[in-house]
Amino acid sequence: MDKPSRRNVLMAGGTLGAVGALSVASPAQAAPLWTWSPKGSVAGAGEGADPRGVWDPEADALVASLLDRGAVPEVNKLLRTWTKNSQALPAGLPADLRDFMERARRLPSWADQGKLATAVEFNKKRGLYLGVTYGFASGMMSTVIPREARAVYYSKGGADIKDRITKTAKLGYDIGSLKAYQPDGEMIVTCVKTRLAHAGVRHLLPKSPYWTKVADEKVPISQADMMVTWHSLPTTVMQNLVKWKVPIPAAESEAFLHSWQLSAHMLGIKDEYIPNSWAEANSQAKQVLDPILAATPEGIKLAHMLLNLGAVIDGGLLTKPILGSLTRYILGDEIAGWLKIPRDLFWDSAFEVAWEPFVQVREGLLSLDRAPGILKTVYWAFDEIIRVAALLFLSEGTMPISIEIPTGNNPD
């Protein structure tokens, strides 16, 4: 047999990626091979190239050029007025950017309006649980995704984490809002702007002396990195809702997936990497997300910023231990340990014993009388958590939020 080369490994496996060549991860988090087949993707076929070596070439070259020619501040200013999906692009944008955005804002042929309408139903019914899961399953998980934690910490947004959370939460709000991908919704705008922001980060972060010292890749936010983060969102959210036995009709579950598949496409992820079902999503997540979770100093700091979010309510006295225990309950003891989240005897066991019965009681599937006694003591707190989390992570906010292309790093 011929010596295995990158070319014949790719050809033989169809989906096997560049073995090790693209991955310079430290041994502690050695990246697994990319063996996920594009047959399980929304495209149904593809080259099967390792997504760790694929970025977003057209957007990246364009934004790099905008940054190099000093056009970004003016572009950001103009784009603040572009907020609705069907709205014409503002006059005065550079021609190359306008041309790209006109194409990038188009939904793919596989977008299914029926499914999107069902997704709206799901978001309406399940909004309260979605706030908790986006915030404390996905948000907290992002702090143990080393590449994301480092990129966030050393990019411009890392200097003001509250502002960043508000901007990121905008995507969660937009995807779940009534209009989402409709002409008068904002999700397409949010995705296209985020795609441009990511392209900016790819150009700028490699110039950060802080990031380059700790990074294990030359250019951040590859297609693989994006899928990792994607799984920390819908895949992790759905896994938790299923674990908590929240009743979800199959059509709504599929519709929620569809709205996120579409967001992946609109963020510039290639269709051949986007899973076509929950089964495929779970199998891809097992391969790309689970093995890379690890602690970093940057992630620990970000996690504690998230835990301190409730400090505005009570100085952190009660909210910090409660949110810490919620994180421990959702992500497990190992990850809570990495993040140096202290144990709390009362709240740790309250979540362990009473969270699932709480969901069952809320869903009318269990009477409070038959639930564990502790639930009567903590019901108000659990109810408040889901209400405040929904407000924090899924509400529109009072200020207009504009996602912008960064012009520097943190700190410059």
Q: Tell me whether residue 288 or residue 322 sits nearer to ligand HEM (CB atom).
A: 288
Note whether 30 and 295 are within 8 A (CB). Answer: no
Nearest residue to ligand HEM, by Cβ distance, number only: 157
Radius of gyration of the chain (CA): 21
Write down the least CB distance from residue 205 to ligand HEM, Å. 7
Q: Tell me whether residue 139 or residue 357 sits nearer to ligand HEM (CB atom).
A: 139
Q: Tell me whether residue 174 or residue 356 sits nearer to ligand HEM (CB atom).
A: 174
292-324: burial string, b at 16+ Cβ within 10 Å, e else:
bbbbbebbbebbebbbbbbeeeeeeeebbbbbb
List residues near ligand HEM by CB under 6 A: 147-148, 151-152, 155-157, 164, 167-168, 171, 194, 197-198, 201, 220-221, 225-226, 229-230, 267, 403, 406
Write down the least CB distance from residue 234 to ligand HEM, Å. 9
Q: Tell me whether residue 198 or residue 270 sits nearer to ligand HEM (CB atom).
A: 198
Q: Tell me whether residue 10 or residue 31 sits nearer to ligand HEM (CB atom).
A: 31
Residue 55: phi and psi, rounded to 5, are -115, -125
* Secondary structure letter of residue 155 according to DSSP: B
Q: Tell me whether residue 48 or residue 157 sits nearer to ligand HEM (CB atom).
A: 157
Q: Which residues pair with 409 in a beta bridge?
A: 155
In this structure, what token pair is assigned to residue 401?
């939020």
CA atoms lying within 13 Å on the CB side of residue 116? 20
Write down the least CB distance from residue 122 to ligand HEM, Å. 18
Write down the least CB distance from residue 359 to ligand HEM, Å. 26
Q: Rounded CA gap, 119 and 284, in Å?
A: 22
Note whether 302 and 151 are within 8 A (CB). Answer: no
Return the SS3 of 223.
helix
Those residues whose C-beta lies under 8 Å from the C-beta of residue 173, and which sit 6 or more positions away, are 393, 394, 395, 396, 397
Write down the least CB distance from residue 389 to ligand HEM, Å. 18
Write down the least CB distance from residue 263 to ligand HEM, Å. 6
Q: Rounded CA gap, 173 and 180, in Å?
A: 9
Write down the least CB distance from residue 404 to ligand HEM, Å. 6
CA atoms lying within 13 Å on the CB side of residue 326? 30
Specify burial of residue 272 (Cβ count, 10 A radius: 0-12, 13-18, 19+): buried
Q: Tell me whether residue 167 or residue 320 sits nearer to ligand HEM (CB atom).
A: 167
Return the SS3 of 275.
strand
Write down the least CB distance from residue 152 to ligand HEM, Å. 5
**Sole residue written with tokens 């294990």:** 216
Q: Tell me whether residue 43 or residue 366 sits nearer to ligand HEM (CB atom).
A: 43
Q: Which residues pair with 275 in a beta bridge?
A: 41
Note whether 177 and 169 are within 8 A (CB). Answer: no
Residue 69 to residues 40, 72, 74, 100, 208, Cα–Cα distance (Å): 41, 8, 11, 17, 19
Residue 41: phi and psi, rounded to 5, are -100, 170
Write down the least CB distance from residue 291 to ligand HEM, Å. 16
Q: Tell me whether residue 228 or residue 322 sits nearer to ligand HEM (CB atom).
A: 228
Q: Tell me whether residue 115 or residue 193 sits nearer to ligand HEM (CB atom).
A: 193
CA angle 236, 189, 199 (to 5 degrees): 75
Write down the least CB distance from residue 380 to ligand HEM, Å. 33
First CA to last CA across the chain, in angstroms? 53
Write down the least CB distance from residue 298 to ligand HEM, Å. 11
Q: Tell me whether residue 167 or residue 328 sits nearer to ligand HEM (CB atom).
A: 167
Q: Rounded CA gap, 268 and 150, in Å?
A: 21
